[in-house]
Amino acid sequence: MNGNSSQNNESSVSTLSNYTHPSETSIDKANTNDQESGKDISVGKYGVLKMIQSSKNVLYNTEFVRVKNIKTNLADKSVWIRGRLHTSYARGKQCFMIVRQQQWSIQVLAVVSDTISKQFVKFCSNITKESVVDIKGKVARTPSKIGSCSQKDVELYIEELWVVSQSADQLPLLLEDAYRPVNGDDKDADIRANLDTKLDNRAIDLRTPANQAIFRLEAVVCKFFREILTAKGFVEIFPPRIKNAVTGNGTNVFKISYFKGSAYLAQCPTFHNIIAIAGDFERVFTIGPVFRPEDSNSHRHLTEFTNLNLEMTFKHHYHEVVDVIASLFTSIFKGLRENYQSEIKTICEQYSVEPFKFLDPPLKLEFPMAVNMLRENGVEMGDEDDLSIPNEKLLGRLVKAKYDTDFYILDKFPLAIRSFETMPDPDSKVGSNSYDMFMRGEEVLTGGQRIHDYHYLMKRAKHCQVDIEKFAYYLDAFRYGCPPLAGGGIGLERVVMLYLGLDNIRIASMFPRDSKRLTP
C-alpha cells in the first residue's frame, strides 16, 4: 500500500521511553531455567510468554515499532518489534535471526556477552521458524548492506526475546519454497511448492511477499472501481445472491435447499441492478460473489468469484456507457502503474511477466472485424459463432501484434449468442448492442444495452423461450416506464490475474473454490 498507508497500533519511535514487558507475571518459567551452563545472567530477558489472554492482571504497556520504520536514524536506540522468526542459524556464540513483518524484514543478532547468556543465545537458535516473537533490540548500522532483508542498513542487537506464539516444528510448506520464482531456473522446479500445496496451506502461503502484494492489489482494484464510479454519481447497492430462478437449463447453476422448496445462487447480479435502474437510481454498482458450477480444471474459472457490476442509464446511445467503462479500466490501469510499482515489482520477482500495455482511449473493435482477423489467420467460424477460448487468445495475440495493446473492447456481438435482454443492433441483421472487454486476450467483462421496452422485451423473452412466470419479477419492472440503459460485469480475480500476467486464477483468489476445492 505504498508503504505508508498502514497505521497500526505501534506508536512512533519518539514516544518509546518506557519499555515494560510483562515478563514478571506471564513468563513460562520452565523455559527460562535452563541450568546446564550454570547461572543464567539473562533470566527475565527471554522465554515463552503465557498466551496473551487480555487479563486485567497483566500490565502490558510495551510499545512497538514497525520493522519498515527502523532506519539508521534510530541507531543506538532500543526498540521493540513483534514479528515472525523467518530464519535463524547459530554459529559458535552467536545466533543470526531474520525477523519478518509482512513484506519487511530485519536481521537480529544474539551474541554471548556480559549481558546475554549462552542460554539465551541457545534459546534463540531453538525457536521454530514462523513463530511470532517480541524482540527488544538495540539498533545498529550494518558494516555492509544486508541482501536478504528489506532493512539493509540496520540490524538489531538483542536485549530481550519473548515467544508470543510458537509454530510447530515441521512446516508443511517452507516459505522459501512458497515464493521461489516460478519462471526461475529449472533446477528449482522440484523444490518449488506446487499450487495445491500452497493453497492447502494458505495460512502460511499468504505470508509470502508476492501474496502480500497480490491481495493488496486486489483490494486496490476494487477501491479504484468504487471510487471512480462513486465520483461519477453511481450508488453502491447490495442485490440478493439467492434467487427464485436463473436463466439456462439448470446445469449452469447451484441449487439451494430453501425451507420447504429450493432456490438458486446468483450467476450475476445484473437483473437486480437493472431493476434498481427502473427504480430511478440511474447509476448503480455492486461488488460481491457470484456462483457458477464450472466443472473444469480451467486456469481461469472458479465456482465462486468476485463480480464488479455496474448498470447505468444513457440518453441516446449505449456507447455513452461503453465510454464510462472504458475510462474506468484506463483509470484503474493508470492507478496501478502510477501508485503500485513496488507491489508489482515484488510480484514480478516470483512471477516474471511483461508489463501490461494499454491505449488511452482504449481500442474498440467490432465483432465482424475480429472474425475477419481470425479468418485471415486460418480460423474457420460462422458470423454468429461465439469466440472459442483458443480463438479468443489468438485474437488477443493478433490485436497485440497490430495495435500494441493488452486491453481492447469488442463491440457488436452476435445476438444469437447473448441473453434475451440484450438489445439487438438495429443496423445489422445478426448483431446486438453488446460487448466484451479483454485483457491479454481473455475476457474480463461482458455487457450490453438492455431492452427497456416492456413489450419488446416480452417478445424477445418468448422468442428465447424464457420462463415468463419465473422471470416475472424482472419483466414486470419494465411495465411502468424505464429509461434506456446498459452495463456490464467484471471478474475481479481475472482482472488481477491478467493485469499481472499470472497463469492461474487461483493465484488471484485468496481462498479459491472449484469443483474439487472447498477448503480452506
The only residue of 82, 192, 198, 440 in contact with a second copy, by rule CB under 8 A: 82
The answer to the question of residue 222 lying near a second copy (CB under 8 A) is: yes
* Interface with a second copy in residues 380-409 (CB under 8 A): none
The answer to the question of residue 422 lying near a second copy (CB under 8 A) is: no
What lies within 8 Å, CB to CB, of 305 at 6+ separation is 289, 290, 491, 492, 493, 494, 505, 509
* Interface with a second copy in residues 459-488 (CB under 8 A): 472-474, 476-484
The answer to the question of residue 151 lying near a second copy (CB under 8 A) is: no
Least Å distance, CB 354 to a second copy, is: 26
Of 145, 118, 136, nearest in space to 39 by CA: 118
- The C-alpha atoms of residue 410 and residue 392 are separated, in whole angstroms, by 11
Least Å distance, CB 2 to a second copy, is: 11
Cβ–Cβ < 8 Å for 152, 145: yes
| CB closer to a second copy out of 127 and 399 | 127
The only residue of 78, 87, 197, 244 in contact with a second copy, by rule CB under 8 A: 244
- Joined grid coordinates for residue 507: 493465484
| CB closer to a second copy out of 56 and 91 | 56
| CB closer to a second copy out of 169 and 376 | 169
User: What is the sign of the dihedral through the CA atoms of 159, 164, 169 and 173?
Assistant: negative
Three-class secondary structure of residue 457 per DSSP: helix
The only residue of 30, 259, 297, 338 in contact with a second copy, by rule CB under 8 A: 259
- The C-alpha atoms of residue 200 and residue 98 are separated, in whole angstroms, by 26
| CB closer to a second copy out of 306 and 405 | 306
The only residue of 159, 160, 304, 392 in contact with a second copy, by rule CB under 8 A: 304
Residue by residue, DSSP assigns 36-75 as TTSS-TTTTSEEEBPP----TTS--------GGG--GGGT
The answer to the question of residue 449 lying near a second copy (CB under 8 A) is: yes
| Continuous segment of H or E residues that includes residue 327 | helix 319-339
Angle, alpha carbons 280-322-340 (nearest 5°):
105
* Interface with a second copy in residues 180-219 (CB under 8 A): 201-207, 211-212, 215-216, 218-219
Least Å distance, CB 480 to a second copy, is: 4
The only residue of 2, 456, 459, 462 in contact with a second copy, by rule CB under 8 A: 456
The only residue of 276, 370, 394, 466 in contact with a second copy, by rule CB under 8 A: 276
Phi, psi (degrees; rounded to nearest 5) at 489: -125, 135
| CB closer to a second copy out of 154 and 277 | 277
